[in-house]
C-alpha cells in the first residue's frame, strides 16, 4: 500500500465544501421578505394618501 494510510482513511472523505446553515438561509430570506413588505407598505401608504385628497 503506497502513500499515507491515514490520508486514505474512508472517514476523512466526508470533508469537503461547507454549505450555509439553514438558519443563515432563513435569515437571508427573512430580510428579503421584510424589505419587500416595507416597500409594499410604503407604496400602499402613498397611494392611500393620494386618494384621501380627492
pLDDT digits (tens, 9 = 90+) for 1-53: 577 877 777 777 777 777 778 999 999 999 999 999 999 999 999 999 887 55
pLDDT at 41: 97
Cα separation of 48 and 54, whole Å?
11
Cα separation of 23 and 31, whole Å?
12
Grid-cell match 416595507, residue found: 38
Grid coordinates representing 53? 385628497
pLDDT at 38: 98
Grid coordinates representing 51? 386618494
Q: Taking the model in full, what pTM does it have?
A: 0.54
Cα separation of 38 and 36, whole Å?
5
Amino acid at each position: 500500500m503506497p502513500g499515507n494510510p491515514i490520508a486514505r482513511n474512508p472517514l476523512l472523505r466526508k470533508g469537503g465544501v461547507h454549505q450555509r446553515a439553514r438558519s443563515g438561509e432563513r435569515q437571508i430570506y427573512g430580510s428579503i421578505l421584510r424589505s419587500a413588505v416595507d416597500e409594499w407598505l410604503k407604496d400602499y401608504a402613498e397611494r392611500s394618501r393620494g386618494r384621501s385628497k380627492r
